[in-house]
A and B are shown apart, each in its own frame.
Chain A
């Protein structure tokens, strides 16, 4: 298993979780449901449209939403944006993982700002999906709510505010840069860092 993989001996209990699966492709929806049966999720709600999924969100308590990005009518991105801003208050921050096949040009901006917990690109293995579910469950990021974005804080690591800017979070570190403690790198060293190199994935 790769270094970022989920250790196979970690125990997870999804038996009582209620998961909403949304995909306009019935075949893909059945396959997702099969995958979640394998994960031990007995309580699944399936929707073939974002509009139907909205009704489910309004009427049921959910623990996780898995939604395809590309759907006719309301897209997965628009659904998650609605979820984070307009859904009933107790459902608004339900974790959502989006599954994406191809990112059409018209949707690139939507995907960046929709507020999903994770976006998972196809193709993927059940192991990778389970890993994302585990990450969501362990996710301690705060929800950021502002005019242009509502969703998990996209800064995984608090690196402080940009240089010269006053931080807006209580725990933001000072943006002041002290004196250099090491000599500047010479250009050759910088070039070496920037040099393209072949990697084996």
Chain B
């Protein structure tokens, strides 16, 4: 194995952010939040379309778990940029479920459907109470954890 080299670098970014002008961090984050708000309706519709695609997969039951995983990451990608924690967590649970299933070479459309419906409910709920959402998310994680459990051995007849 070769000796590690340690290289001193100075990023251009370091000099740029220190230049005169610019704005305060508070102002920048407020402006970014405003820009995101302007895109919110379009983003919500995109999430709804993706959830619709997942619903179709659940009805047809022919797709691979890779396809489920890809669609659930799409929801997480968008919800995550809005810091929408309940929807992100539900999408994360579906990612985890699909990842566990594909790792074991299995499919379980009932579980995928439960996660998809939960995402739909969370997406549509404009004023959720903390308790309701918490219960839904706990239920999803219980479902995901169930997939991790090893197969029970059937007792010999």
Q: Which residues of A contact B (CB under 8 A)?
A: 6-17, 23, 25, 27-28, 30-32, 34-40, 63-64, 68, 70, 72, 93-95, 99, 101-102, 104-105, 122-127, 130-131, 133-134, 136-139, 142-147, 153, 168-169
Which among B11, B19, B21, B29 is the interface contact of A139 at CB below 8 angstroms?
B11
Using known A-B contacts A13-B19, A34-B39, determine if residue A137 contacts B85 with beta carbons closer than 8 Å.
no
Q: Given contacts A39-B31, A123-B88, A144-B4, are A11 and B82 in contact (CB under 8 A)?
A: no
Known: A123-B80, A146-B1, A146-B2. A136 touches B8 (CB 8 A): no
Complexed CA–CA distance, A8 and B24 (Å): 6
Q: Which of B16, B34, B69 is in CB contact (< 8 Å) with A38?
A: B34
Main secondary structure of the interface of B (DSSP, over half): helix
Closest to A168 in B: B4
Chief secondary structure at chain A's binding surface? loop
A32 touches B4 (CB 8 A): no
Taking a contact as CB atoms under 8 Å apart, the answer to whether B8 and A142 are in contact is yes
A145 to B32, CA, bound (A): 36
Task: Pick the interface stretch among B54-62, B92-100, B149-157.
Answer: B92-100
The reply to whether B32 and A38 form a contact with Cβ atoms under 8 Å apart is yes
Collect the chain B residues with CB atoms within 8 Å of residue A142's CB: 6-9
B23 and A11: CB pair below 8 A?
yes
Residues of A with C-beta under 8 A to B43: 27, 31
9 CB < 8 A contacts A-B: A8-B29, A10-B25, A16-B16, A25-B78, A40-B23, A93-B7, A94-B11, A102-B73, A144-B5
Given A9-B26, A11-B23, A142-B6, A34–B36 Cβ distance below 8 Å? Answer: yes
Q: Is the CB of A95 within 8 A of B13?
A: yes
Nearest Cβ on chain B to A189's Cβ, whole angstroms: 35
Please indicate which of the listed interface residues B16, B19, B28, B80 has the most CB atoms of chain A within 10 Å of its own CB: B28
